[in-house]
Structure 1
Amino acid sequence: MKIVGYETFLVAPRWQFLRIDTDEGISGWGEPIVEGRAEAVQGAVAALMEYLVGADPLRIEEHWQVMAKGGFYRGGPVLSSALAGIDQALWDIKGRYHEVPVHELLGGPVRERARVYTWVHGRDNAQLVDEAKAKVEKGFTALKLNLSEALPPIPSPAQLHAAVSRVEALRGALGDGVDIALDFHGRFSTAATRQILPLLEPLLPMFVEEPVLPEFARDLRRITESTSIPIATGERLFSRWDFRDVLTTGIAVAQPDISHAGGISEVRRIAAMAEAYDVSVAPHCPLGPITLAASLQLDFAIPNFLIQEQSLGIEYGGGNALLDYLVDPDVFAFTDGHVQRPKGPGLGIEVDEDVVRAAAAEPHRWRSPVLRHDDGSFAEW
């Protein structure tokens, strides 16, 4: 079997899909994307596919090594994300060739269902609570929210207490039976994080995500040693080498993104490294259905899986965009906050190519928003 061609599709709301074709009629799908930089990843995919066309798609590890290291300059979000989407598509082809789900090729399932969480939003605490209650009524047992909008390096007491009040409102309304995860989104400085974590401890968050920007990962040990709250990070780390030093800092949860961190092949290695440090894995996934499908294949194969992010409920998602690109959306049916083990071959989904092509006829040009502080200076999104 040989790879004979490929296509990329820029589709709303901010995603990019990849289809790789073979001479035996088997095609595989992947999702190579850097949100806000889709065109750059599209170019990187084209460069990597020059090597792959004509090659045997089943030799995934050999191809991964060549694509990751053969260009001399390596790593980073664009190259690693292009590689990630290609890797997903190759695993999809291999699973379809052997007529088994990818997790069967990774050693077989270690669980029968995987827990998922959803996002909640609100302009004020009352709206936040109303949305959270609605999500819990749908069966979700874990919620995540952005704790604050843009913050100065040293927030005021009012800003800190306003952020904490959001969690207090949720905990008071939902009780202790629902997990609440908090995304700092890199908006907090190291100093601000150390200020607010003691105030949050009595509310028992499931975890605090990205308490500092990835360039300040050296400060994570100071943070993990100063709080009892589990600390999570990793969505902006792109390889096992990026995770190597972070795993030693005392974090509780690693959050590699299977569409950014080298695909199924590399995230499986990151998960194995994390297990050696008693670190759980909660894959980052505010993306499309192919990323979610690939993430779930890994979730069912690794022992240290914690919980899976998914984009239904994220404000930019445009309603049910995650499901609109699937022939059978029921593969992502969530029951009691869990999704059942996928049984279909490859990534376990069937992409509706007609819908994809129609969407790609009007390609998106999504860009990350630029936030400003009150004084007009740049603020972290």
Structure 2
Amino acid sequence: KDPRSFEMLLLDLKRISIQSRGGIAYKAISGIELALLDIKAKALNISVVELFGGPTRENIRLYWSHCGTYRARNYELCNTPPLESLKDIYNLGKEVIEKGYTALKTNIIIPGKPAQTWGGGFAGPIGSTDGVIPKDILTHLDNQIGTFRDAVGEDIDINLDLNFHVKPESAKRIADVVEKYNLMWLEIDMYQPDALRELKDSINIPICSGENLLFMQEYLPYFQARSADIFMIDVPWMGFSQGKKVGDLAETFQFNVAPHNYYSHLSSFISASLCAVLPNIKIMEIDVDQVSWKDDLVTNVPEITDGYMKTPSGIGWGTDLNEDALKEHLWDK
């Protein structure tokens, strides 16, 4: 079939998998769609941004994501200093400023030898399924966010990501503790829009959510309930055309969106392309702490100046995978 007819091919793939909607199969379909869009744009000798009517902006504001999280888990792999004390978190905050970023996002981190991250939303031992944050972890979190704020001052935005780790009651306790640090948003995921709306109404920090939703139909009840203030869109998971539709739907409800982007440079080009064809972008996620060979995996790396990424303008996505470099770093598990 003609790969340039990406919409029809996408409909075919979705129809043959309709009885197993969502999950890994749908994410694989989204990956195919992203490749088809690259082919289509290259056939026309234009960027995907141009293919979808952009650009709407020349630069995209970024926030340093997993700030401290990767250092707590894999500082040796990322060739960064460990987080052994609050002083190390303070120094990391200063590094955010030195590298030109105007916003950061962190998770719940406990400095030490070794440092740890807290949360049982994705996995954990017996007793970690209740979604309740202990008092001592609240104290650690207060110290962590307070240290970041002391380091970066009032002009740098701070986001806190709770993922699926806590129930609304604990999320409210967290919000009450960190409210004084003037966060850009508190990020939390849950598959219950009414519960999320109740949390939003009970705290004084903007809520960001939605990174795990895949379809307009999944976002709609959250939009209708006004469950959050900012909504995440994950383009590699849902596909570009669906991401564009979700972003446009969010605009009709007067919501800003923010791409969920903690992957490769190729993903950053793809997510930035979405930012360049929507009017309602808040900010875009990007990981700064990474393995030393990340740049080798693509032909072009993002052009980032003072915490802003230049809108992709090259043919297709604006970068390609380096197949030879990929073969040198195969996952052996």
TM-score, structure 2 as length reference: 0.85
Distance 1:99 1:364 in 2: 37
Instruction: Report the Cα offset of residue 173 of structure 1.
Output: 1.9
Aligned-residue CA RMSD in angstroms? Answer: 1.8
Q: Tell me if 1:327 matches 2:299.
A: yes
Which residue, out of 186, 197, 213, partners 2:164? 186
Distance 1:233 1:272 in 2: 17
Residue by residue over 1:107-164, the C-alpha shift from the partner in whole angstroms, topping out at 9 and shown as x without a partner, is 1211100011113114542211211211210111111100351376433433223212
Residues 266 and 298 of structure 2 are in contact (CA less than 8 Å); yes or no, is this contact kept in structure 1?
Answer: no
Q: Tell me if 1:311 matches 2:281.
A: no
Q: Tell me if 1:266 matches 2:239.
A: no
Distance 1:255 1:59 in 2: 28
Structure 1 108/154 Cα, relative in aligned 2: closer, same or farther at 3 Å?
Answer: closer
Q: Tell me if 1:95 matches 2:41.
A: yes
Aligned to 1:278: 254
Distance 1:77 1:126 in 2: 41
Aligned to 1:246: 222
Residue by residue over 1:277-312, the C-alpha shift from the partner in whole angstroms, topping out at 9 and shown as x without a partner, is 221111111111222211111111100111111233
Distance 2:209 2:216 in 1: 13
SS at structure 2 position matched to 1:73: helix
Q: Tell me if 1:129 matches 2:75.
A: no
Query: Matched residues, percent identical?
Result: 26
Residue by residue over 1:61-117, the C-alpha shift from the partner in whole angstroms, topping out at 9 and shown as x without a partner, is 111222112333142221221111111111111111111111111112111000111
User: Structure 1: which amino acid aligns with 2:297?
Assistant: Y
Q: Tell me if 1:301 matches 2:262.
A: no
Residues 68 and 74 of structure 1 are in contact (CA less than 8 Å); yes or no, is this contact kept in structure 2?
Answer: no
Residues 182 and 209 of structure 1 are in contact (CA less than 8 Å); yes or no, is this contact kept in structure 2?
Answer: yes
SS at structure 2 position matched to 1:187: coil
Aligned to 1:57: 3
SS at structure 1 position matched to 2:153: helix
Residue by residue over 1:171-221, the C-alpha shift from the partner in whole angstroms, topping out at 9 and shown as x without a partner, is 1221111011111121122110111212222211111112xx433443101
Number of aligned residue pairs: 300
Distance 2:267 2:3 in 1: 19
Which residue, out of 205, 210, 228, partners 1:229? 205
Structure 2: any 5+ residue segments left out of the alignment? Answer: 69-82, 110-117, 121-129
Aligned to 1:354: 324
SS at structure 1 position matched to 2:18: coil
TM-score, structure 1 as length reference: 0.74
Structure 1 355/156 Cα, relative in aligned 2: closer, same or farther at 3 Å?
Answer: closer
Residues 133 and 174 of structure 1 are in contact (CA less than 8 Å); yes or no, is this contact kept in structure 2?
Answer: yes
User: Structure 1: which amino acid aligns with 2:55?
Assistant: P
Residues 214 and 237 of structure 1 are in contact (CA less than 8 Å); yes or no, is this contact kept in structure 2?
Answer: no
Aligned to 1:71: 17
SS at structure 1 position matched to 2:2: coil
SS at structure 2 position matched to 1:185: coil
User: Structure 1: which amino acid aligns with 2:155?
Assistant: G
SS at structure 1 position matched to 2:208: strand
